[in-house]
Chains A and B, each alone.
Chain A
Amino acid sequence: ELKVEQNPLFLSMQEGKNYTIYCNYSTTSDRLYWYRQDPGKSLESLFVLLSNGAVKQEGRLMASLDTKARLSTLHITAAVHDLSATYFCAVGDSGGGADGLTFGKGTHLIIQP
Chain B
Amino acid sequence: DTEVTQTPKHLVMGMTNKKSLKCEQHMGHRAMYWYKQKAKKPPELMFVYSYEKLSINESVPSRFSPECPNSSLLNLHLHALQPEDSALYLCASSQKQGVAYGYTFGSGTRLTVV
A23 to B103, CA, bound (A): 19
Query: Is there contact, CB below 8 Å, between A101 and B45?
Result: yes
**Distance of A45 Cα from B93 Cα, bound (Å):** 13
Contact yes or no, A41 B107, CB < 8 A = yes
DSSP class of A's interface residues: helix, strand, loop or mixed? loop
A 9-42 to B, binary, CB cutoff 8 A, 1 in contact else 0? 0000000000000000000001001010000111
Bits for A86-113, please: 1 = Cβ < 8 Å to B, else 0: 0010000000111111111110100000
Pairwise interchain contact B48-A101, C-beta atoms closer than 8 A: no
Contacts of A106 in B (CB 8 A): 41-42
**Cα distance, A68 to B34, chains bound together (Å):** 30
Shortest CB–CB separation between residue A32 and chain B, in angstroms? Answer: 11
CB within 8 A of B103: which of A45, A97, A104, A105? A45
Q: B48 touching A99 by the CB < 8 A rule?
A: yes
Contact A97 to B42, CB < 8 A, known contacts A43-B90, A45-B103 = no
Within the complex, what minimum Cβ distance (angstroms) separates A12 from chain B? 16
Kindly state whether residue A50 has any CB partner on chain B within 8 Å.
yes
Give the docked Cα–Cα distance between A35 and B92 (Å).
13
Nearest CB in chain A to that of B55: its residue:
A98
Nearest CB in chain A to that of B45: its residue:
A100
In the complex, how many angstroms separate the beta carbon of A35 from the nearest chain B beta carbon? 8
| Contact A98 B102, beta carbon cutoff 8 Å | no
Minimum CB–CB distance from A9 to chain B (whole Å) comes to 10
B residues in contact with A101, CB < 8 Å: 43, 45, 103
Residues of B at under 8 Å CB distance from A?
30-31, 33, 35, 40-45, 48-50, 55-56, 58, 88, 90, 94, 96, 99-100, 102-108, 110
The chain A residues found within 8 Å of chain B, CB to CB, are 30, 33, 35, 40-43, 45, 48, 50, 88, 96-106, 108
13 residue pairs from A and B, CB less than 8 Å apart: A35-B105, A42-B90, A45-B105, A50-B100, A97-B50, A97-B96, A98-B31, A98-B48, A98-B49, A98-B50, A98-B96, A100-B33, A103-B44
